[in-house]
Amino acid sequence: MSISPETRLLVRERAHFACEYCGVTETDSGGELTVDHFHPQTLGGIDDPANLLYCCNRCNQYKRDYWPKRAAAPQLWNPRLEPASNHVLTLPDGTLHALTPVGTFTIRRLRLNRPPLVAHRRQRQEHAERDRLLRNYQDIVESLRRLAEQQARLLADQHDLLHQQHDLLRLLLGSDDTGDL
């Protein structure tokens, strides 16, 4: 592969340092992933960034040099052209469910429901849910803090009003003796 370091960096950054097929990041895998030709070089694909994908070793291994040889052949999802959500749905248990024939073929070809990936997606979902709950908890704590401040201001206002009422009653009754009230 004759990809320049600049092009490689562009592809990595564009993919947010994650496999464009399965979502595994460089951090998850402990190192850089691979640059793959969506349309394989061996079958006429070029080194243009539009034809390059960032993917993990497993997805690259399973994709191999697949390219449809005839119009009726199954199509592989191209992450550069459309979102995965057009073709697959991630279920709560971490498995992918195909929504289209392209999704079905891609899941099968790349083995996107392999157990470690399913566990990885489930773990990411759990982390996302924990983060969501933590943000909600922080919002509730902030709301309670603001309510406590408002309550303190209202109590101070009520205290001032009671003093004003006391002073007004003393004037109306014409009494200088505050002990009678």
Tens of pLDDT along the chain (181 residues)? 578 999 999 999 999 999 999 999 999 999 999 999 999 999 999 999 999 999 999 999 999 999 998 989 999 999 999 999 999 999 999 999 999 999 999 999 999 999 999 999 999 999 999 999 999 999 999 999 999 999 999 999 999 999 999 999 999 998 655 555 5
Residues 108, 93: Cα–Cα separation, whole Å: 18
Q: Which residues sit opposite 53 in a β-bridge? A: 36
Domain residue extents for the chain: 5-113, 126-176
